[in-house]
Amino acid sequence: MAITPVDYTNPRYDAKALRRFAEEALCKAGLSNDHATELADYLTATDLRGVLSHGTRQLPGYVRSFQSGQCNPRPNVRIYREAGAVVQWDGDGGMGHLVSARAIRSAVSRARSMGICLVTATHCGHTGSVGNWTRIATGAGMICLYYSTPVSPLPFDRPQPVVEALNNPPVSFGFPSSEGEPPVLIDMGTHLELPEAMRQIAEISVLPLIKGLAYQVTSVMMTWPVDAQSLIKRRFPGATSSLTAVVLDPAFIGDPSDYTRTVSELRQKVHAMHPLPRLDRTLLPGEIEAEREADFSLNGIPLDDAHIQSLRELGDDLGVPCYWESDG
């Protein structure tokens, strides 16, 4: 779920120009051509779905992490342990997008033959908009549950509210749909709200805060204790993220077409229901992102001035042209 909302009145920018800029900037930061292309694709795809906090907005920070040695621009992403339906990956200090994609693809492959696969990864940087990774599984007709912890170990060594110490670990749950329909896909941070909003909520009821805390704890428990058992040598101090994911093939439960047909029926029933207050329609998770992707691919991505200015300054530093400002 995007922290930065979409303002449709902002100027629109061509996705191909943003992708080209991101790819060249990442190459200048030391990534291989293949990894730069791959990471630029993920960042632009995230912008296209309207998750503007986790797309190219992250590019300047990523470049700084490579330049400063916090993260590894040339990681050797690899499997370091595997047994049956469990595969464990080493991100080697690289950005978490690279190891996440490979981990989920390996899980899809194992689930094809075993029905289910659990994958973990350690020693990687930010995992980005984690819906990118569940979409790999849903695109292959699989169910995927993905958890990531952005900081390990967590900062329990200073007094602060527990929800802040737990950070905002992201989760994504993806479920395949019938052909022509978007997957049912949840992609969100587990923070219920920002601190000031949580204080206001607490004046009405603490129950939502307790449930929000439960989401945070669930994501942390799926990742941090697993990460703590890893024997991987950590060479890059900024690569503090880890992940755990489960991929399930519905074909091992029954006819997968029955599964996707049921999802379609659920979608139709949800669409016919009354929307929540202040909303004009009822959708399943993932539908608004699919609508935005179609719109933004055709008409450009609406980005605010601060977003574009940060990219412009990065381009000046690296000597990369702002391709969205020209036909080239």
Task: Read off the pLDDT of residues 133-156 as tens digits, 9 standing for 90 and up.
Answer: 999 999 999 999 999 998 877 778
Tell me the C-alpha distance between 143 and 157, whole Å: 37
Specify whether the CB–CB gap between 21 and 273 falls below 8 A. no
Whether pLDDT at 328 is above 60 = no
pLDDT at 148: 96
Whether pLDDT at 327 is above 70 = no
Fold of the 76-189+217-258 domain: Ribosomal Protein S8; Chain: A, domain 1 (3.30.1370)
- Peptide linkage before 159 cis (omega within 30 of 0): no
Tell me whether domains 13-68+299-328 and 76-189+217-258 share a fold. Answer: no
Task: Read off the pLDDT of residues 173-218 as tens digits, 9 standing for 90 and up.
Answer: 999 999 999 999 999 999 888 888 888 998 999 998 899 899 999 9
At residue 247, the 3 state secondary structure works out as strand
Q: CATH number of the domain at 13-68+299-328, please? A: 1.10.1530.10
Task: Read off the pLDDT of residues 233-269 as tens digits, 9 standing for 90 and up.
Answer: 999 999 999 999 999 999 999 999 999 999 999 999 9
Question: What is the percentage of the chain residues whose pLDDT exceeds 70?
Answer: 98
CA quadruple 27, 146, 284, 167: dihedral sign: negative
Task: Read off the pLDDT of residues 209-219 as tens digits, 9 standing for 90 and up.
Answer: 899 899 999 99
Tell me the C-alpha distance between 65 and 34, whole Å: 19
> Where does residue 79 fall: left (phi above 0), alpha (psi -120 to 50 degrees), or beta otherwise?
beta
pLDDT at 2: 55
At residue 282, the 3 state secondary structure works out as coil
Domain ranges in the chain?
A: 13-68+299-328, 76-189+217-258
Mean pLDDT of 76-85: 97
Mean pLDDT of 156-166: 84
Tell me the C-alpha distance between 162 and 115, whole Å: 37
Mean pLDDT of 293-313: 98
Q: Give me the residues paired with residue 244 across strands.
A: 120, 147
- Average pLDDT in the chain: 94
pLDDT at 241: 95
Nearest to 231 by CA among 120, 65, 99: 120
Question: What is the percentage of the chain residues whose pLDDT exceeds 90?
Answer: 86
Count of CB atoms situated within 10 Å of the CB of 130: 28
- Which residues are within 8 A (CB) of 99 and not within 5 positions of it... i.e. 6 or more apart? 75, 77, 89, 90, 91, 121, 124, 243
Apex CA 119: angle with CA 156 and CA 143, to 5°? 110
Reported as half-sphere exposure (CB side, CA atoms, 13 A), residue 235 has a value of 12
67, 240, 120, 29: CA torsion to nearest 10: -10
